[in-house]
Amino acid sequence: GQQLNQSPQSMFIQEGEDVSMNCTSSSIFNTWLWYKQEPGEGPVLLIALYKAGELTSNGRLTAQFGITRKDSFLNISASIPSDVGIYFCAGVTGGGNKLTFGTGTQLKVEL
């Protein structure tokens, strides 16, 4: 099945550093969602974006809905050890609730 392209695939950063990751698609989406998944658990919703150009924050997390509606970005400021996990973007097209997920970005934080 189709999956969105996420980069980087994985990153190993120092505690306190800022983190950026992005998600791109060849198709247009009407909604972009960012989830975090930890081992053995389901994805947890972090941020939802509903309009092109929208910039939304949730604590240390900030996400943007790209102007072209084909991409989205997630930034994490001042990373901490509990930020470890896999971050997935997901897009929703008009006319349905089906989520198309990205390939995931695995984040590892070094103390």
Partner 1 sequence: DAGVTQSPTHLIKTRGQQVTLRCSPKSGHDTVSWYQQALGQGPQFIFQYYEEEERQRGNFPDRFSGHQFPNYSSEPNVNALLLGDSALYLCASSLASPDTQYFGPGTRLTVL
Kindly list the residues in this chain that would bind partner 1 in the complex (CB under 8 A): 1, 3-4, 30-31, 33, 35, 40-45, 48, 50, 88, 90, 92, 96-104
* Distance linking the first and last C-alpha atoms of the chain: 37
* Nearer CB in complex with partner 1: 44/80: 44
Nearer to partner 1, 12 or 50 (CB): 50
Question: Based on CB atoms, which residue is closest to partner 1, 56 or 77?
Answer: 56
CB of 78 to partner 1, least distance (A): 26
